[in-house]
Amino acid sequence: MLKLLGKIGLLVCALAAGAVWLVILRLKNVPVPLLVAYGLVLGVFVVAMAWPGVLGRLSTRRRVAAFAGIPAGLGTLGLYLAVVYHVTDLPVLPALAAVACLAWAVAALLRGRRTAGDPGARRTRRAFLLGGAGLVLGVMSGLSVSRVEGRRREVLAGLERQRQAAVRAAGTRKRVADGAVRVFPIHTGDTIVTYGQFYGGLDGWEGLNGYVRTLVDKAQIAVPVHAYLIDHPRHGLLLVDTGVNSEQAWDHDGYYDMTSRLLTERDEYRMTPEQDLRVQLARLGYDAEEISTVFLTHVHDDHAGGLRHLPRATVVMDRRDWEHGVLYPHSFELVKDNLSFPAFDSGPFGPFPAGQDHFGDGSVILLPTPGHSPGHMCVLLRLDTGGVLFMGDTLYTLPHLAVDQVRQMTIGGADTVRQIGAARRIQKMLASDPGVVPLFAHDNTRYQSELVASAFADGTPGEEGLRALRAHMDTVLTPGWRLRPGHAPHFVPPAAGTARGRVEFR
């Protein structure tokens, strides 16, 4: 009975692992018919290894391994090489094979069959061959390390040449120092997401179900990734979020480890050389090394990737995100000793029960808005003529302020409740202070591409620019935070010859 239960347990684990692998392959755009055929081979192999008799009375595990295991193994290797493999895996694969050969050699010595004429000959020969193969593979793994590092250096050198060319291109503006607070939106490229992830939070895209759907749903759109530069006369150069970096976009598989690559797409980000954070800062008349403070709304990599270029900056973020959020250590590698965690002990701020007056002069207020991540926060910047509220990912776009009609994918459970609660506090803040305008990280509407770009073209929107933004908000949203006609998002499938769809507002 225990043996049967053990087999069933192993079967369930193997089938679950196989299902995860099939989902990953679907994420990598492997055709469904191929996945079905491959999945059947895997299933037959796993079941028949536990109960060989299901394939007939003459079946044995050795025959199952030969007729189902070999095709399953070759299929797995072929699919991995086709859709997941990257040159950075080169030292890892022979190293794993070397370990397997050496382990097999030890097993051959311990359990090898003896022949009648020479009891140890077969065992010794097998162990010798396997051990030799293991040593050769181990040497190959060691030698490949330098080749991989050299290839990586070549890629990075090419990226640096493109960046320098973009910096030297015509159009650099002169830095203005007249005592005014300036805010510059910085478009650091685009991220590719599923439409449902971005707009389907009220259509079942929530929690684990929503995450699985992001892996298999191919109704994709491209949305912008924005950071915001603040030139403050008293506090220096500040950034709200940092966007993505060029390595994430142009050398994605080299930037991320194997586990991260399994769960992401190679074209997850796209960026032109001109959109590199350092290039845009230079063309505005600034230097990345001058950035003194980064306010990180949350730790997700499309907001933290640019930290690789800001090793001298103090990074201000909620401790809960650092301890419990989904972060990629490589992006934080150079700033992990420069972190500052606000206490949120400055008392209530409007509808928010707690806030942090970061500089102590009311110029920058940090507001906890958990939900999208454990320690998500928004940043309120006070201007002489009003204020701007940097939303991070609490809400993706202006239409998302109609949170009961348009909602992004949420984590589910208490996190969804917290995120919607934060959204309602933001609604109350904007309603109570008509001089404050929201600035989003991923807005793909004309609010960002036209009105925000125009109002902040020279960094100082003034009272007139802020009024224009609020006036546009009134054309999109009612006072009760409902969408007006003509502003509901709809997915438009990709046209022939294109990979992704787009969003129309009707």
The CATH number of residue 187's host domain is: 3.60.15.10
Do the domain assignments include residue 183? yes
- Please check whether residues 384 and 397 belong to one and the same domain: yes
Mean per-residue pLDDT over the chain, rounded: 90
Domain that holds residue 137: 88-113+120-168
Q: What's the average model confidence in pLDDT over 197-218?
A: 90
The total number of structural domains in the chain stands at: 3
- Please check whether residues 341 and 428 belong to one and the same domain: yes
Q: How many Å separate Cα 91 from the centre of its chain? A: 25
Phi, psi of 380 (to 5 degrees): -105, 125
The pLDDT score that the predictor gives to residue 322 is: 96
Do the domain assignments include residue 37? yes
- Please check whether residues 162 and 194 belong to one and the same domain: no
pLDDT digits (tens, 9 = 90+) for 457-469: 999 999 999 999 9
Question: CA-to-CA distance for 199 and 194, rounded, in angstroms?
Answer: 9
Whether residue 453 is predicted with pLDDT greater than 90 in this model: the reply is: yes
Q: What's the average model confidence in pLDDT over 304-325?
A: 95
Do the domain assignments include residue 52? yes
Here the tokens at position 173 are 């503006």
Are the C-beta atoms of residues 140 and 148 closer than 8 Å to each other? no
- Please check whether residues 417 and 439 belong to one and the same domain: yes
Percent of the chain exceeding pLDDT 70 equals 95
Please state which of the ranges 5-14, 133-142, 401-410 shows the lowest mean pLDDT: 5-14
CB-based burial of residue 435 (10 Å sphere; 0-12 exposed, 13-18 middle, 19+ buried)?
Answer: middle
The pLDDT score that the predictor gives to residue 115 is: 44
Using 50, 70 and 90 to split pLDDT, how confident is the model at 436? very high
The pLDDT score that the predictor gives to residue 317 is: 98
Q: Please, what sign has the CA dihedral across residues 159, 309, 145, 27?
A: negative
The pLDDT score that the predictor gives to residue 13 is: 86
- Please check whether residues 79 and 105 belong to one and the same domain: no
Q: What's the average model confidence in pLDDT over 421-440?
A: 97
The pLDDT score that the predictor gives to residue 241 is: 98
Do the domain assignments include residue 287? yes
pLDDT digits (tens, 9 = 90+) for 79-114: 988 888 888 888 888 898 899 888 888 877 776 554
- Please check whether residues 359 and 463 belong to one and the same domain: yes
CB-based burial of residue 76 (10 Å sphere; 0-12 exposed, 13-18 middle, 19+ buried)?
Answer: middle
Here the tokens at position 89 are 């895996």
User: What is the pTM (predicted TM-score) of this model?
Assistant: 0.87
- Please check whether residues 342 and 452 belong to one and the same domain: yes
- Please check whether residues 212 and 259 belong to one and the same domain: yes
Please state which of the ranges 17-26, 115-124, 240-249, 310-319 shows the lowest mean pLDDT: 115-124
- Please check whether residues 341 and 391 belong to one and the same domain: yes
Do the domain assignments include residue 173? no
The pLDDT score that the predictor gives to residue 48 is: 79
Domain end marker among 132, 147, 168:
168
pLDDT digits (tens, 9 = 90+) for 218-274: 899 999 999 999 999 999 999 999 999 999 999 888 888 877 888 778 889 999 999
Do the domain assignments include residue 297? yes
Secondary structure, 3-state, 140-191: HHHHHHHHHHHHHHHHHHHHHHHHHHHHHCCCCCCCCCCCCCEEEEEEEEEE
Contacts 24+ apart (CB under 8 A), 261-268: 261/84, 261/86, 262/24, 262/84, 263/24, 263/27, 263/215, 265/27, 265/28, 265/192, 267/192, 268/191, 268/192
Do the domain assignments include residue 174? no
Whether residue 348 is predicted with pLDDT greater than 90 in this model: the reply is: yes
Question: CA-to-CA distance for 358 and 342, rounded, in angstroms?
Answer: 8
- Please check whether residues 62 and 131 belong to one and the same domain: no
Radius of gyration over every alpha carbon of the chain, rounded to an integer in angstroms: 28
The pLDDT score that the predictor gives to residue 116 is: 41
- Please check whether residues 146 and 23 belong to one and the same domain: no
Do the domain assignments include residue 224? yes
- Please check whether residues 279 and 294 belong to one and the same domain: yes
Most confident listed range (39-53, 76-90, 402-416): 402-416
